[in-house]
Amino acid sequence: MATSDKDLRICNKGHQYYKSSDCPSCPICEKERKPDSEFLSLLSAPARRALEHQGITSLQQLSQYSEKEILQFHGMGPASIPKLRTALQEEGLSFKN
């Protein structure tokens, strides 16, 4: 049997989970706080946290940034940009030029 590099952790809410990275995020808590709708629900947890950390919780706020600026946020990857661009276009908005 192979030895796992993952450590058992317990979050502040008492959830037990295994993780190999230094990331302190509890995957159970992240799943519970994922929105059911709106554009943030389209994103991975790191990308969602990146926007929330910057105070971006609406498409109107997102439209005040360029794609280049968004990609500089820690946790935001290039796979999220097309999802964000589509969400903006559906509301008649776009990224800042």
Backbone torsions φ then ψ of 7, nearest 5 degrees: -105, 140
Q: Which domains does the chain have, with CATH numbers?
A: 7-35 (no CATH), 37-97 (1.10.150.20)
pLDDT per residue of the chain (97 residues) written in tens, 0 to 9 = 555 688 899 889 898 989 888 877 888 887 777 776 689 999 998 999 999 999 999 999 999 999 999 999 999 999 999 999 999 999 999 999 9
Q: Detail the DSSP E strand segments found in 26-88.
A: none
Report pLDDT for 3: 53
Structure tokens at 94: 């776009």
Bridge partners (DSSP) listed for residue 10: 16
Tell me, yes or no, if the pTM score tops 0.85.
no
The Cα 72–Cα 74 span in angstroms is 6
Alpha-carbon distance values, 40 to 17, 18, 57 (Å): 24, 26, 7
